[in-house]
Structure 1
Amino acid sequence: MRKMTTIDNEKELTVVLATNNITRVSSVLSVGLRNNAGTRGLIQLIGRTAARDYNPAPEQIGMHLQLTILRLGGARLAEIAHRALVGKPTPSEIESNIDACLDAVPDVDDESPRIVHQILMLDEIATERRARYDDRTNMVVGVCRQHGYKLPLELKTEASLNLLCDGVRKGKAHLAGEATVAALGLLTTNPREYSVRPILFSADCKSESAPEHVVNILRPLVTAIKKKSKRKNTTFRLLCAASDGEMRREKAFIMEYMKRPLAPESPIYSHLSGLERMTADKDAKHALKCLRNLLMHDSGVEVRGFCITVPIIKEHLLDNGVPLRTDRQHVMTAFSLMRTIWTLPDAPAGSSLLYVWAREALQIFGKLAYSLVMPYISVDMDLDEQLTNLSAAVHLLLDLYVHNNARTRFMPTQTFLNLMIMIKNVYFCVTKTKVDIPEGKFWLILLGTDRLEVFFGLIRTAVGTDSNVDLLQLASRGSGLCEVAAILALHPEWDSVGETGVTLDSKTDHINPASWKGNTDVNRVTPLTSWIQGRHRIENFLPQTRAVFEKMLRDPRVDIFAPFGTSLVEKYDEEDIDEAYSCCQWADEFEALPPQTRPPLSTKLPEDAPPEPSYSGDNDLEDAMGVEEPRGGFDSHIEINGTQLSKAKALRLAMAGLTGPRASTY
């Protein structure tokens, strides 16, 4: 009878759950179970909840889920006041954004001082060529930072609106087709801390030179970050700056972060002095996609005297039952191709000499791919093994680049340098961690710009059906989406790419520290030991390389950036950067200020005509919200030909008329 009573009670509980519309039913059951309620007690609690006599406190996971839905839906709540949307960013503007971002970092209860490493990530995101009215500042956003200072961007009168439109029409300034985004990423295992923290959005028209990029973007960022490095008992130390393969920024990075050899007085010198001369960083996935695209090039790639072409790759892959995919941008396609090549067996007995030679060349290239890819995706790999593999990649790159004077027949010089810069930065960052945080951990996967790419994905999701985000949307949505990134890190099961495994699948694209199983303690790693072991690994794989490496070690002119004794890194004169300061709007904020008597730097405008705005809608929801709830205290309307129009609508109509009648005729 007791068993039948229990069964009846459980059936009644099931019916009660099925017939009552109760939100957060898990919260109700959790409260009951924490209070040791039995089946009857749970039934009574559900009944009280259904009758609105009881309302459980919201669980944290429920709050997280609601916040995620809210942010992805695009609500304009609790946004960080991202500045630098208009004109060139200044250190003080960036400092304000850093403060806002760090406010979201959880405070640590421990009162003892601590050091937290962070990296600076920079990338571009495509934007709609659209001017928008920002009611917080009474300014027009969406005009490029390079030339926006030439036009009146503060929207006060019809005259300022007409001057702005005429200036865009005549090419004095441009509606930006992309935005430079800079973000901070902490190197920590706490998901709430290692999510991306955007600190700069700036409209870009791509006319900026490398010296100007240093002055307008890189130095203001680093200056602001250093000024905001202390917060309570925590020191946030910048480890490196990371970017993709954008050519202008590559030159800017070399100008700013590869100026001179490591000084003997540096705290990390003793750990690295035994290595050949090695800080900037390159995104690993971008470099690996370049490696994959190298194989797909029409001219092929020369590996120790044999030219591997696409038909040869297809033949050897099909002989092993694997088709060749040609998506040049998909990360997983690149990973899959590299894995297929490094798992190729020896050529079958009886194969022709040419077939055997081709298979050996593919296996050598596969060894390079394995050494580059596996440290980023094999979650069981310890840190010392990661470093050893990357050292093996460096030495194999050196051998293949110099063998038979292959040079660019093996790979483009820029790809070669990108890979070397990426690996050099790993060794530098590990060594800096050993010095600053001796008992700390280091996650290789947190380097690069992957977290920024995740943020871009969230931005595009929040924008919805629009093809691209505009500058105002980028700033207004960005803050809330930072919270989403942190929440998804706490709950990876909500994200299709959150969970990770050892095998190469779609989940491998975004691995996080929580999923890494290998030992990442820096106190177990000696960089010089891993470096030498990597060289020995290649010497055992290809014994003929031993003589090559011994010759390189005897020549003091040879290093990873100068395999033939002459540096492949383009040298830049500091005067180029000093000249760019002469038109810098924030020069008075810099300590190392050049003389202000220098002539202004002439800015070369693109020769192409100003693009036609891609947006012509008339009922934008955010424009309407800006009119109803202006956030900056400015008048939301402007008088045009005696008629009062909202500033957002007046701007939209004026910009839509750039290719038609004069903008002032409404």
Structure 2
Amino acid sequence: MVQKQNKLQVVRTHLRRSDLQARNDVRTLMRRNTALNTHQRFIRFVASKNVAQLGSAIAVSVRNGFGINGLFEKVIDLYEERYMPKGFSQDDYDLMAMVYGMGGRSAAIVVAHALGKPSIRALKRHRNCLPIEASAGYPTRAEVSRNLDAAFPRIIADLMPSSKGIVGVVAMVDEVCIEPRSRYHPGKNVIYGPCREHSRGYSLEFNSLDDANVLWDAIIAEKVHLGTEATVFALGPLLGETGAYTARPIHISASCKRETAPQHARLLETVLNTTTSHAKMEGSRIYSVATDGESKRGSALSSICLVQELDEDAEYYPELADIPLLNTLCGKDGITLDKDYKHLWKRLRKPLLSDSGVNVLGTLVTSDALKLHLTDCGHGSKIHSWFNPTDKQDVPVTIELFSAIMNLPPPAEGSEPGYARMRRAIQLLGVLYGCLIKPYTVPSYSLSDQLKDLSEAVHLIIPMYQHGRGSFMCLQSLADIMHAIKNVIFTVAKAKVDFPDNPLYIILLGTDRLEVLFGKLRTMIGSDANMDLYQAETRMTAAVECAEIAVKHPDWVKGIARRLRVPVLDASGQLSHVIDHVSPRCWTGDLSVRGVSIRTCWSVGRSRAVELLRAFDLDAEAIFRDMEAKGHDMLHPLGRPLFKEDMRGTDDVLEQFDVRWLTTLFGIILT
């Protein structure tokens, strides 16, 4: 009987537990059903409402351990503006810094209210970047050093994806127009605006009203001038990652354009010497100083970058030693002079727009003759835009014209001798143009292909210049092309030692990245495109901060820098319709430097040029051997150095009225 009672008790206990478990399961299912319904309501609510700061509210609720009900209540309160989350993520601050820097105060306010991002006041409290500071006069080492710290919060080598190798850096210098007005800088207690050339004897620090009066009297008497241009010195790493290769300014100062070459050389030396010895340059080094065709700067840089033969102890010396016709003059630490390739293209187009034309081995290719041959090949509809003399700065138009010249077919059988001779001369000119633009515009090109074309350009130009002198190409254009190609060769040699496993983008040479920076400065504040020195300083700071953010968020800035876009060509020189502009991201050719043989590429380019010129009854090989025997090179095609001509004008009127015109005139008289 007792056993039966015990069994009954066990059964009752089991039933009671089963009943309780069933009730608990029902209660759990009801709670989960309620939570599921709340989740569904939450999803529908978020999908149908535009809730600002939703991500911040969710992050705060999760940190505080809220469930779905508490989270839903917070989101409803947020939507009805009864609640505002306190915390913002670093991405929120980065986004607002980009909007504020590139769009200005109004854009930042709109984004802050519409998307629930940090306010401008909160952004200023949170940001900790150092400002870029302009120099009121000539730069000091302390000013340049401070700007280096501001431009590169980390050492430059940290921008490289892999820790192996040394980062090559291009120094770029150019001018941007500014408003000629004086401004008081409250943070530094100095007066911005007076030119650096003539303000040295005056106090630019505002200690009393007398300082301002004396300076103003000097400006009225024209002893001191208000700067009309700002000289900007920037650094750009040779890295292909988005944001990493952005030009970052380290010096800004106002100029009245009356500076002498020695004065400008002193400025450049101060900036260069400070930069090369700065701690932020650890694991990196300056390869070259790039500029456009400004005459005084060309002379100043010649005194810096063409002062000594390449040191035999340099690690990359074996790559460059004894290459025929290659000039090996350089500056301290092997720094070379570079000229912007886009400026060279535009300068080569100018004689094609004038009556003087181009003398190609005795055949004068004039604009009328070129128009005739292009029209005969079906390009008549574009002749007006290609030969518009008022539009000499359009790079895409220049490339379109060169592409058409490069792809002209041979003369038809039975053509008149004069017509056929002119067509062959134009074709030779097209080959030369192709060698100068295809290395920068054909993404399928490998680094070896680029070097071969540039070598061919050198070995075509030398005999053609010796034959036609100024009627073929002005001295300054000749010198600048040789400087640019020589710098590419030096850069490849240095890269083979410094980062042999990384790609080298020669499209990052020149001053194009600095031009892009100037474009950003102009478009940062849409209602105020012009700027004075003080505004240029603040916008430079914003540009540097945006560049640093772009390194962290490359997907934010895709397709943003297309102001100075370069059209893309295919391997045949035809305009490509697949890619609309050149950038490191679009390059598909093998750009690794480890397997590149500079000597072989140089020799191949020379052989191509010799073979091509043989068809014009010109023994180029004999010309090259004669130059080698006399100790001449690419910068001494006639025996005297081209870089001594850097003190002459470049894009001035005198250059357009030079030996080309005289040679043409004398040729007419003699015939």
Which band: TM-score by shorter chain?
A: 0.7 to 0.9
Instruction: Indicate which of 293, 318, 339 corresponds to 1:270.
Output: 318
SS at match of 1:569: helix
Partner Cα distance (2:419, 2:550) in 1:
49
The number of residue pairs the alignment matches comes to: 555
1:607-654 superposed Cα distances (whole Å, 9 cap, x missing partner): xxxxxxxxxxxxxxxxxxxxxxxxxxxxxxxxxxxxxxxxxxxxxxxx
TM alignment of 1:302-321, pairs within 5 A: 302-321=359-378
Aligned to 2:49: 20
The DSSP-based 3-state class of the residue aligned with 1:517 is: coil
Q: Deviations over 1:426-458 (max 9, x none)?
A: 000110111222323211011111111111011
**Contact 1:229 1:235 survives alignment (8 Å):** no
Q: For the Cα contact (< 8 Å) 2:396–2:566, is it kept in 1?
A: no
Q: Residue 101 of structure 2 contacts residue 546 of structure 2 at CA under 8 Å; is this kept in 1? A: yes
SS in 1 for 2:619: helix
CA displacement at 1:282 relative to structure 2: 0.4
Correspondence for 1:175 = 226
State the match for 1:249 in structure 2.
297
The match for 1:559 among 600, 608, 633 is 633
TM-score (norm 1): 0.75
Structure 1 residues 90 and 25, CA, compared in 2 at 3 Å: closer, same or farther?
Answer: same
Match of 1:514? 585
Q: Per-residue deviation at 1:193?
A: 2.4
Alpha-carbon displacement from aligned partner over 1:13-62 (angstroms, at most 9, x marks no partner): 9975664122477999999xxxxxxxxxx999987974688979878776
**Distance (whole Å) between structure 2 residues aligned to residue 109 and residue 181 of structure 1:** 25
- Shift of residue 228 of structure 1? 0.7
Cα contact 1:176–1:203 (8 A) shared by 2? yes
In the alignment, what sits opposite 1:493? Answer: 558
**Which residue number corresponds to residue 73 of structure 1?**
103
2:397 aligns with one of 330, 333, 340: 333
Paired residue for 1:355, among 419, 432, 441? 419
1:506-525 deviations in Å (ceiling 9; x for gaps): 99896332222111111010
Match of 1:219 among 269, 275, 291: 269
1:548 aligns with 2:597: no
- Kept in 1, the 8 Å contact 2:352–2:367? The answer is yes
Name the CA shift for 1:540/1:11 in 2 (closer, same or farther; >3 Å). farther
SS at match of 2:594: helix
For residue 388 of structure 1, the aligned residue among 432, 444, 452 is 452
Write the letter of the residue equivalent to 1:533. V
Matched, 1:459 2:521: yes
Matches within 5 A, 1:413-428: 413-428=475-490
Distance in 2 separating the partners of 1:120 and 1:138: 30
Distance in 2, Cα, partners of 1:506 & 1:127: 38
Structure 1 residue 201: Cα displacement: 0.2
Q: What's the secondary structure of 2:223's corresponding residue?
A: coil
Post-superposition Cα deviations, 1:77-108, rounded to whole Å, max 9, x if no partner, equal: 55644345211111221011112222156847
| SS of match in other structure, 1:149 | coil
Say yes or no: does 1:285 pair with 2:314: no
Q: CA, structure 1 residues 44+434, in 2 after alignment: closer, same or farther (shift >3 Å)? A: farther
Q: Check conservation: 2:229, 2:256, Cα contact below 8 A.
A: yes
Shift of 1:236: 1.9
- The question of whether the paired residues in 1 share the 8 Å contact of 2:298 and 2:646 is answered with no
Distance (Å, rounded) in 1 between the aligned partners of 2:372 and 2:189 = 62
| Alpha-carbon offset, residue 224 of structure 1 | 0.6
1:294 aligns with 2:323: no
Contact 1:497–1:510 (Cα < 8 Å) also in 2: yes
* Contact preservation (8 Å) 2:185, 2:192: yes
CA–CA separation in structure 2 for the residues paired with 1:368 and 1:24? 58
Q: Which one-letter code corresponds to 1:391 in the other structure?
A: S
Q: What SS does structure 1 have at the residue aligned with 2:285?
A: strand
Provide the rounded CA distance (Å) in 2 between the counterparts of 1:535 and 1:376.
20
Instruction: Output the amino acid matched with 2:458.
Output: V
Q: Is the alpha carbon distance of 1:330 and 1:485 closer, same or farther for their aligned partners in structure 2, counting shifts above 3 Å?
A: farther
Instruction: State the shift of 1:420 in Å.
Output: 0.4
Q: Match for 1:140 among 177, 184, 191?
A: 191
- Among candidates 219, 224, 228, match of residue 278 of structure 2: 228
- Determine if contact 1:123/1:244 at 8 Å carries over to the other structure: yes
**Alpha-carbon displacement from aligned partner over 1:108-155 (angstroms, at most 9, x marks no partner):** 799967421111100000010010000111111011001112223222
Pairing partner for 1:534 from 573, 586, 605: 605
Aligned to 1:660: none
SS of structure 2 residue aligned to 1:560: coil
CA gap of 1:28–1:332, structure 2 versus 1, over 3 A, is farther
C-alpha contact 1:379 1:517 (8 A) present in aligned 2: yes
Q: Aligned partners of 1:128, 1:437: CA distance in 2, in Å? A: 42
State the one-letter code of the partner of 2:419: Y
Cα pair 2:441 2:568 within 8 Å, conserved? yes
Contact 1:274-1:528 at 8 Å conserved across structures: no
What CA distance in whole angstroms lies between the structure 1 residues aligned with 2:546 and 2:428? 43
Whether contact under 8 Å (1:497, 1:506) holds in the other structure is no
Q: Deviations over 1:176-230 (max 9, x none)?
A: 0001000010111233321111000011111111111111x21101111111155
* Structure 1 residues 63 and 354, CA gap change in structure 2 (3 angstroms): farther
Q: Tell me how far 1:358 sits from its aligned partner.
A: 1.6
The percentage of counterpart residues that share the same residue type is: 33
Deviations 1:236-277 (A, max 9, x none): 211110001111001111111112332333322211123223
Task: Choose from 466, 470, 480 the match for 1:402.
Answer: 466
**What stretches of structure 1 of length at least 5 have no aligned partner?**
1-8, 32-41, 574-666
Letter in structure 2 aligned against 1:343: N
Task: Quote the offset at 1:564 in angstroms.
Answer: 2.3
Partner of 1:222, secondary structure, is: helix
- Matched with 1:88 is 138
Amino acid at match of 1:220: T
**AA at the equivalent of 2:532:** D
Unaligned runs of 5+ in 2: 1-37, 61-70, 106-119, 328-335, 570-574, 648-671
In 2, the alpha carbon distance for the partners of 1:376 and 1:304 equals 27
Larger RCO, structures 1/2 (Cα 8 Å, 6+ apart): 1
Query: Contact 2:230–2:254 at 8 Å: present in 1 too?
Result: yes
